[in-house]
Structure 1
Amino acid sequence: MLEKLLKKEIKLSVVGLGYVGLPIALEFARKMSVIGFDIKEERVDLMRKNIDPSDELESSAFDGCDITFTSKPEDLKQANFHVVAVPTPINQHNLPDLKPLLGATKTVGKALKKGDYVVFESTVYPGCTEDDCVPILEAESGLKFNEDFKVGYSPERINPGDKEHTLTKILKIVSGSDTESAEVIEAVYASIIKAGIHKASSIKVAEAAKIIENTQRDVNIALMNELSLIFDRMNINTFEVLEAAGTKWNFLKFFPGLVGGHCIGVDPYYLTYKANELGYHSKIITGGRTINDSMGGYVAKTIVKKMISNGNKINGAKVLVMGATFKENVSDIRNSKVADVVNELKSFSVHVDVIDPHASSDELMHEYGYGLIDEIKEKYNGIIVAVNHTEYVKLDEAYFKSIMVDEGVFVDIKGIYRGKINNLTYWSL
């Protein structure tokens, strides 16, 4: 399989060209002939012009790549090795939403031929690939699993906004539906991954490994958030406590904050969903999720209390929220917990303005019902630095004072201005 791919006798496809799929497609396309498929024609048009719709890759990343971008499912029939990298979000009830994954699986199934491989990269609960996806592939193709086609799972580990830990520099987990497929999939990925390959013993093990990576982070951040709730009542700055405790060699360095995005804030729900199906009701994981999901409302309530304490009239008060994406220096707004802060403030009849140098106002309006202001034209009763974009880190106290009323309150969620704000009412987690 690998030799034929490298000789371009056969093609590889990548289904789903978001922040995960596009880097994979381009990396393979430096050595192989690749079909890049996405259901959104407007995104495909941008990529044909060497533009990454996710705003993660420079146009130079497309140079020297043998890739055809398409939104036509029939084009996938040209490929013999398929990589599926579509989103796996949760719905409004915090339950797995497999519609994008199962839809992509149907599309690939229709294109499947005898001898083909399908590798899934989307984050799922253990068992999903074999229990949910494989039957669809069989039904759509009319082929027999492990006899006519083979399947693997290789979880994505791409970190949006991270220019150091890029695709080829991150150890890749691979797995296959049998010994032969595991070896073939390992060889294909090893051709582009410089950091090395870890071959899991089964697809379920690989699925489970991915989902606990982010569950572990979620639980640890939840502990930091709970400590912040406790220390705030003691009038102790949590970041100062963590700085002191961090001097011990084996203290794990996690920090409080808003936990959103499409990984840490989502993946644990896939694991708890599967656990519930099996009759086990998680306590630690569910408890961590409850704490982290509540932090946006907590931040909003805290600034309201402090504005009242400073003599501000809340009905009609003006608050500026700086940052709308789910993390710093990215344009991605999916599952951004900043929306929880904004919505909670509005429930108090507070007027909220939002700015962000990376986010799209139209996308925010579509997703959350509010957009961005073009420029700051007034003074605010409160300012919340919600996301640590590089553009904000450079700002000083004089700037914030110039756009705030005298009795205003400054909230620094991640504590980046600790020790730098001396003449304003200051609060952080």
Structure 2
Amino acid sequence: MSLYEAIVSKKEKISVVGLGYVGMPLAIAFSKKVDVVGFDISESKVKQYLNGTDVTKEVGDQAIQETTALLTWEEKHLRDCKFHVVAVPTPINKDKTPDLRPVIGASRTVGRNLTEGSIVVFESTVFPGVTEDICVPILEEESGLKCGVDFKVGYSPERINPGDKVHRLETIVKVVSGMDEESLDTIAKIYEMVIEAGVHRAESIKVAEAAKVIENSQRDINIAFMNELSIIFNKMGIDTNAVLEASGTKWNFLKFSPGLVGGHCIGVDPYYLTYKAEELGYHSQIILSGRKINDDMGKYVAEQTVKILIKADKQIKGSKVAIFGVTFKENCPDVRNTKVVDVINELQEYGIETKVLDPVADKEDLWREYKINPSSIEDIQDMDAIIFAVPHEEFKELKIEDIKKLYQNHKHLLIDVKGMFDKKEAESNGFIYWRL
């Protein structure tokens, strides 16, 4: 009996290591078909799941409550599994180099509990070579088993878009790869159980690793171009959104928009690729240039806010500015690597008092990462300026008249980073309005 057949007949189990915004939807999806163990080193996170709360907000509380997956922080349960999926984050260090500690730690955990005949598939975003050159030796060392003889490996990059209810795990084509034809076939068949859109069989693990890392690098570069255009058009006194609306009427114009590019994918993945390129003696030009522009946009938004405060004859030191939204993207609780924090830090450098409102953000992570306690809407009073940094659905329900009540005088300064509000309506209501 093949491993695929053993899993389908529930004689063997699948493990998902790392129950974040990638791992949890995967564990839920697989558990509808086969037996699953969902493992995470965070006992507190797992306990929240066991209490029926979806901390990722990706699958919903009901799906968590109804799943048959065994959710645990005890690694001993991994020994009951033969097909392991590693879905842990791969962040960057302060010097912008890859931080592989989570994937190395996960490899050690899986290795300690690896049994003969298993397959380990990595989903974490990495530069080409990490799976075979870094993870495999760790698996061998910890397990005492030999890769290619006692166990096999593969790579299948995650493509989940956090907060996106249209492009979900099941509806996005899954790239899969294996170390040989046999492992590739098994990995493909197992993912095909839950991926309605089907799978693409990459010719090698390194090809699959490279495919993932360039997807977000491409998007990063395109957004950087929009951000640079925004800076240029702002100097010209031209509204960028109006320009993009006009250009977008051409059939082959790529519809990107300016914004704060953070998070654990677009704001991180390009550095994995350029790190490997540097190792090989090539210094990236386009990729790093785009990253530099996007990394500086938080400071740029803060500087524009200060300029607008000055034009409105506001005293900068002691001014009160409210920031609506602090997560790295809309309708997502994740605050990792959010560039909104750059806006906040820069404003505080000027002596500006900031208040942050975000009903979506994970409050524990927000405090742990940035020492920020979000305010309630009742705390937002007598503001000198308001910045809408993240267009959460909750914010879209606010009317211009409601926002007017939050200022301390008749000068209503509105910094609408993503163009959530209608510019003409805002200006006709007396707002001093600016957007990227």
- TM class, shorter-chain normalised? over 0.9
Quote the offset at 1:53 in angstroms: 1.9
Quote the offset at 1:255 in angstroms: 0.3
Report the Cα distance in structure 2 between the residues aligned to 1:367 and 1:80, rounded to whole angstroms: 36
1:410 is aligned to 2:414 = yes
Quick one: structure 1 residues 342 and 180, their matched pair in 2 at CA, closer, same or farther if it must change by over 3 Å? same
Amino acid at match of 1:260: G
Amino acid at match of 2:358: D
1:419 is aligned to 2:419 = no
Quote the offset at 1:369 in angstroms: 2.2
Contact 2:175 2:202 in 1 (8 A): yes
Contact 2:25 2:58 in 1 (8 A): no
Quote the offset at 1:63 in angstroms: 5.9
Quote the residue 1:380 is aligned against.
Answer: 383
Quote the residue 1:320 is aligned against.
Answer: 322
Report the Cα distance in structure 1 between the residues aligned to 2:305 and 2:93, rounded to whole angstroms: 29
Question: CA RMSD of the aligned region, Å?
Answer: 1.1
Residue 146 of structure 1 aligns to a residue whose secondary structure is: coil
Q: 1:188 aligns with which of 187, 190, 200?
A: 190
Q: How does 1:21-420 map to 2 (within 5 A)?
A: 21-62=23-64, 65-374=67-376, 375-404=378-407, 405-417=409-421, 418-420=423-425
**Structure 1: any 5+ residue segments left out of the alignment?**
none
Contact 2:57 2:163 in 1 (8 A): no
| 195-204 vs 407-416, which moves further | 407-416
Contact 1:326 1:338 in 2 (8 A): yes
Amino acid at match of 1:309: K
Report the Cα distance in structure 1 between the residues aligned to 2:109 and 2:96, rounded to whole angstroms: 26
Q: 2:5 aligns with which of 3, 6, 26?
A: 3
Contact 1:311 1:407 in 2 (8 A): no
Contact 1:84 1:119 in 2 (8 A): yes
Residue 421 of structure 1 aligns to a residue whose secondary structure is: helix
- Percent identity, please: 54
Quote the residue 2:19 is aligned against.
Answer: 17
Contact 2:16 2:39 in 1 (8 A): yes
Contact 1:161 1:328 in 2 (8 A): yes
Quote the offset at 1:377 in angstroms: 4.6
| 19-28 vs 58-67, which moves further | 58-67
Amino acid at match of 1:36: G
Once the two structures are superposed, residues 189-229 of structure 1 have per-residue CA deviations (whole angstroms, 9 ceiling, x without a partner) of 11111111100000000001011110000000000000001
Quote the offset at 1:111 in angstroms: 0.9
**Structure 2: any 5+ residue segments left out of the alignment?**
none
Report the Cα distance in structure 2 between the residues aligned to 1:280 and 1:302, rounded to whole angstroms: 36
Amino acid at match of 1:393: K
Report the Cα distance in structure 1 between the residues aligned to 2:35 and 2:357, rounded to whole angstroms: 42
Amino acid at match of 1:419: K
TM-score by length of 2: 0.96
Amino acid at match of 1:425: I
Contact 2:50 2:65 in 1 (8 A): no
| 230-239 vs 161-170, which moves further | 161-170
Report the Cα distance in structure 2 between the residues aligned to 1:400 and 1:28, rounded to whole angstroms: 45
Contact 1:310 1:408 in 2 (8 A): no
User: Number of paired residues?
Assistant: 429
Once the two structures are superposed, residues 224-250 of structure 1 have per-residue CA deviations (whole angstroms, 9 ceiling, x without a partner) of 000001000000010100000000010
TM-score by length of 1: 0.98
Amino acid at match of 2:424: G
Report the Cα distance in structure 1 between the residues aligned to 2:66 and 2:304, rounded to whole angstroms: 52
Quote the offset at 1:397 in angstroms: 2.1
Contact 1:325 1:336 in 2 (8 A): yes
Residue 406 of structure 1 aligns to a residue whose secondary structure is: coil
Contact 1:329 1:389 in 2 (8 A): yes
Contact 2:322 2:380 in 1 (8 A): no
| 6-15 vs 363-372, which moves further | 363-372
